[in-house]
Structure 1
């Protein structure tokens, strides 16, 4: 920046970028490069895939955002589990704990899973007031 300032103070004019671009275009050097880029862009165009009606399709490994309602006691259980894991050097977030619980329940037989679900209190559907 100081070099340009010194040149300006010495009376030298700043280089005219537009004049240089006009000269390059008049020589035809840029026209061929631009045409090549335009041709490759046209050949690379692909019609976007249409999503089916309803929810957007998910790729494998892509997270799906869900909303759920917990009782205050259940939220406290999640917090206590996070503290227990922090003592062994693992600091999970709430989502990771819930997902770990899903993995543990996946391996249970149907009868044991039904017994666990009987212990879960039923909530009214919808948003809590």
Structure 2
């Protein structure tokens, strides 16, 4: 819910930017609804519809994924960790800026997956009984 509410602030900033900065701000704007949309979809609901319903509301009103209802989350005992969410968003923006500045990323080379174990005897039945 906190990220959905933050979209309004990002929308205010987008109009004053140009070029790549505006593109980046638009990406942030669109990505802010992804967690709420995914929570709704994981609850078996239409994500975009639920996000739109939450955007219309204000305050602590959001989606209770357990019941599928738009409700006051604080009264329902659901805590939205806004400080953790803010820190995650700030860290993501910091990493994105670092990647854009350095124009490269260093990552570990993925380890090859081990071979799959042997399957059943293609002839069926009990093995070695021929």
Global fold match (TM > 0.5): no
Q: For CA contacts below 8 A with separation 6 or more, give which structure has more relative contact order.
A: 2
Query: Whose strand proportion is higher, 1 or 2?
Result: 2
TM-score range, shorter chain: under 0.3
Query: Whose helix proportion is higher, 1 or 2?
Result: 1
Which protein shows a greater Rg? 1
Instruction: Return the TM-score normalized by structure 1.
Output: 0.19
